[in-house]
Every structure is written in C-alpha cells, then in structure tokens.
Amino acid sequence: MSARIPPPLPATKDPLDPWRKRFPIVNRTNYLISNSLGAMPERAREDLAEYAETWAARGVRAWGEGWWEMAVTVGDLAGRVIGAPPGSVTMHQNVTLASAIVASCFDFRRGPRRKVVMVDMEFPSLLYLWHRLRSQGVELEVIRSEDGVSLPTDRLLAAIDRRTALVPISHVLFRSSWILDAKAVAERARKVGARVCLDVFQSAGTVPVDVTALDVDFAVGGALKWLCGGPGAAYLYVRPDLRKDLLPRLTGWQAHEAPFAFEPGPIRAREDGWRFLTGTPNIPALYAARAGIGILGEIGSGPVREKSLRQTARLVALAEREGWKVT
C-alpha cells in the first residue's frame, strides 16, 4: 500500500514563495536542473549591468573603488552560507583551482604524511587533480563505493591514519546525493593529525552547512549550482587559526603584502585570508554571483532543506501510487 501523499504547501504558507518570484526562469518553466546550473536571480542581470557601467564610466579607477577587494567581500557572502567567519573565505574561478591551492600548502615529498584519502564517487575533476599529484609525492588511496550510491563510512574512517595528510571529501555526493557524516570524518582526522577539505558544492544552499561546527580545516564550493551565482565563482574556506602555518605554493600578486609595489619576488605573503588568493580576480563573475549567494545567505539553507524533503516525499508517494519503482 502506498504511503499517504503529503499535500502541497499553499503558496501563502510557503516562506520561500516570495523569493521564488526573483528568479525569472522558474516563473516561465519547470526548472529542475539547478544541480547543474542554478537559476539566475533578476538582480544578477542588474549587477552585471552595474559592472559594465562601472567599467565604462570609471575605468581603471574601479580597482580602487571596490573591485580589488571583491574576492574577499563576495567571499564573506559565501561565508555566511556555510557558517564561516568574516575574512576566512576567498573567491576563485572554480573548485579545482581552490583545491589545488589547498594541495599546494602541503609538501608530500617530505615527512611521514604523504597519504591522501578520497572516495571514487567524487566529481571527476577533483580525482583528476589528485591522481596527477601522485607525481609530486601524493600516496593516493581511493575508497570504492560498494553500491554506487553510498559511502562505506567505516572503511573511509579506517583509511584515515597517521600517515594521512589530507582527506578531500564531498559533503553530498554529486552522483547520488548521499550525505556524508562530515563530523565523523573531521573527528577521525583530528584524532590522527590529518586535515579535512570538505567539498560543499552540492550541499551549501540546499543542506545546512556549518564549517565551524563541523570543525573542518578547509572547505571548497561554488556559486554555479544551488547558490544561483553563475559560472566562474568558487570559494575556499581556510580555518583562521591554520593560516599562519600554511603557505600555498600556488599563489599570485593578490596574496602579496604590497601588490602594487610590483616586487620581483619572492612573495611576502599576507597573514590573513588574502594569502590564499592568486592572480587578478574574475570581476564580472563576482558581480554575477553576488545576488544568488546573498539570497541564500539571507534565507538560510534550513527552509530550503525543509521544502526539499517535503516535495521529495510528495514526489515519491505519487510515483509509488502509479506503481513506479523508486530507489
């Protein structure tokens, strides 16, 4: 016997309905692909127009009027979504680059900690990165999923040992939407002295994330999907108390204490979150990303998650009523 079908929530009682009106495409069609490219908020169109007008009217002066800081100011917007303190999140072009910056903080050729523990259900781009880094001394251990859906948590935790330097792991698996017990991974890593880089690309904005409460060392994610910020805007969180001990080799002039002195090097890296920046930021992408990230920061992921569970339960019940198999 199929489960009772939950009724739809009336728009007048749906706290998200007023926000929905801010996204033009969902008012014209059933848009079910935000896991790939989030719907564009109307405000993003206005922000991109502001970017074009600023460039046209202010020219090079725009760098001193907010552009230079945008990788950090927009990062603070993303930080609000994931529970990160101000100044601990910086914006980058994509998650692969952000992950490479994290990797460059480690020397895998020296010392006993050369092991990196991952799972085979990660987004391929990150697997490609870490497989390639084996040439730099990384001893990569990839834990296999037994069913192509879930993670073997016990085997994952057992693989994290005192030879482990880093555990780059997704909070929500892109292939199956499986939610990781991130707290258990962080606790195991802390116990043996390893670091955790939590990929929140598929969770932030749709599942509550608090990187401070989870006590992870790094987090990466992007605005492309659930944060409705468009392509070219990813973010990197670094736990503030770790900054002084980390000096990324993948760097650039935005990380310099005096970038406009144009010193020939070596770099004098800043002591704050800016030390994890690289070259000139992607200003139009940051303009485009502000609106969506800001909206999710204001709403919070809790109401989104509640509606997602309610709608999913209704969809499953309707499918079962029709005799469809739901896995």
pLDDT in tens, 142-194: 999 999 999 989 999 999 999 999 999 999 999 999 999 999 999 999 999 99
- 1, pLDDT greater than 50: no
Pair type for strands 115-119 and 139-143: parallel
Does a structural domain hold residue 306? no
- Residue 292's Cβ-side half-sphere holds a number of Cα atoms within 13 Å equal to 31
Domain range for 117: 46-298
pTM: 0.94
Q: To the nearest whole percent, how much of the chain has pLDDT over 90?
A: 88
Neighbour count for residue 308 (Cβ, 10 Å): 13
Write the CATH number for 209: 3.40.640.10
Question: To the nearest whole number, what is the mean pLDDT of the chain?
Answer: 95
Does a structural domain hold residue 238? yes
Structure tokens at 167: 């555990």
Does a structural domain hold residue 223? yes
Torsion of CA 24, 25, 31, 35, to 10 degrees: -80
User: Which residues make Cβ contacts (< 8 Å) with residue 260, sequence separation at least 6?
Assistant: none
- 11, pLDDT greater than 80: no
Q: How far apart are the first and last CA of the chain?
A: 17
If phi > 0 it is left, if psi is from -120 to 50 it is alpha, else beta; for residue 24 that is alpha
- 130, pLDDT greater than 90: yes
Does a structural domain hold residue 139? yes
DSSP H helices in 59-202: 70-82, 95-103, 124-132, 153-159, 182-192
Does a structural domain hold residue 317? no
DSSP classification of residue 257: S
The length of the chain in residues reads 327
CA distance 246 to 241: 10
* Average pLDDT over every residue of 73-78: 98
Does a structural domain hold residue 192? yes
Q: Are 251 and 267 in contact (CB under 8 A)?
A: yes
Block residue for tokens 């990165």: 129
Does a structural domain hold residue 9? no
Does a structural domain hold residue 270? yes
Q: Are 178 and 196 in contact (CB under 8 A)?
A: no
Read off the pLDDT band of 9 (50, 70, 90). low
- Return the minimum-mean-pLDDT range out of 54-68, 86-100, 297-311: 297-311
If phi > 0 it is left, if psi is from -120 to 50 it is alpha, else beta; for residue 83 that is left
Per-residue model confidence (pLDDT) at position 109: 94
Number of domains in the chain: 1
- 227, pLDDT greater than 80: yes
For residue 248, whether the previous peptide bond is cis, meaning omega lies within 30 degrees of 0, is no
Neighbour count for residue 141 (Cβ, 10 Å): 17
Read off the pLDDT band of 231 (50, 70, 90). very high
pLDDT in tens, 41-66: 999 999 999 999 999 999 999 999 99
